[in-house]
């Protein structure tokens, strides 16, 4: 039950990104870079200092390595087939794999739906990561949920900007981002079904979550933070790593 609660709040933080955009406008590049870097630092700390050692303890070095590689490969596969966005430059979004969705008359609206679709699918393994962390300890599950929530706020901004510019109403905007966020507890629920199979599966799932989070950190959070403001992104990551190391 905790996994569903934690993943729910982590997922709906995408809606918080929409509220920030509606009330305050787009945050500064320094703030976004710091937030992305901090989330990345927490994710790395959780993966390296807790998830992988726990996976080895519950299973074996072999199962941990296999699970880690599979988690990274799954995220790589999603990157290749799912349309999604990267904030490659300040005030600019680069859409990867846009050809995977049908053409729409309004290109800005199409961009928004592409981002929505990609983020929704990327949220599934994030829910699995929260559930896997809770199988280890309540504290670890909570820290993973916090890191993912911080990561999802900029994603909400990424969804809201193009959809709002394309003429989507505020009500629909909130609904769409909520749907994307609810894919996180769905992923946690799927994980709960399989975690009861065996300790080896739990061990592999912990490593799988670590691989997925390390891939997300290196492929998305670090890249985006450095393009927005490298110094603030690095500062956020260092603080996130230290906070994670001190608490875990």
State pLDDT tens for residues 9-25: 888 888 887 787 777 77
Report how far Cα 51 is from the mean position of its chain's Cα atoms: 16
pTM, to two decimals: 0.68
Domains of the chain by residue range = 2-22+33-247
Helices (H), 60-198: 61-81, 107-136, 138-165, 170-195
CA distances from 103 to 99, 109, 111, 113 (A): 8, 10, 10, 11
pLDDT in tens, 50-98: 889 888 988 889 989 999 999 899 888 877 776 555 544 444 444 455 4
Question: What tokens were used for 6?
Answer: 């934690």
Task: Please compute the mean of the pLDDT values over residues 167-188 and round it to a whole number.
Answer: 82
- pLDDT for 89 equals 45
Rounded to 10°, the helix 222-247/138-165 angle is 160
For the ranges 99-103, 107-111, 156-160, 174-178, which has the lowest average pLDDT?
99-103
- pLDDT for 37 equals 86
Q: What count of other Cβ atoms lies within 10 Å of the Cβ of residue 113?
A: 20
């Amino acid at each position: 039950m905790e996994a569903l609660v934690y993943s729910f709040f982590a997922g709906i933080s995408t809606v918080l990104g929409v509220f920030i955009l509606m009330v305050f406008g787009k945050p500064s590049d320094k703030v976004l870079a710091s937030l992305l870097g901090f989330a990345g630092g927490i994710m790395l700390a959780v993966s390296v200092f807790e998830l992988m050692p726990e996976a080895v303890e519950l299973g074996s070095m072999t199962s941990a390595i296999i699970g880690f590689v599979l988690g990274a490969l799954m995220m790589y596969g999603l990157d290749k087939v799912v349309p999604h966005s990267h904030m490659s430059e300040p005030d600019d979004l680069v859409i990867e794999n846009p050809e995977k969705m049908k053409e729409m008359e309004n290109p800005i609206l199409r961009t928004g739906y592409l981002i929505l679709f990609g983020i929704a699918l990327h949220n599934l393994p994030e829910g699995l990561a929260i559930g896997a962390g809770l199988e280890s300890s309540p504290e670890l599950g909570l820290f993973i949920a916090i890191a993912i929530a911080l990561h999802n706020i900029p994603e909400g901004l990424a969804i809201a900007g193009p959809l709002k510019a394309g003429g989507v109403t505020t009500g629909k905007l909130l609904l769409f981002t909520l749907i994307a966020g609810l894919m996180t507890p769905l992923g946690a629920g799927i994980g709960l079904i399989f975690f009861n199979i065996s300790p080896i599966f739990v061990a592999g799932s912990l490593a799988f979550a670590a691989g997925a989070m390390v891939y997300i950190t290196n492929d998305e959070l670090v890249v985006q933070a450095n393009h927005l403001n490298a110094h603030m992104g690095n500062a956020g990551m260092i603080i996130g790593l230290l906070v994670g190391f001190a608490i875990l």
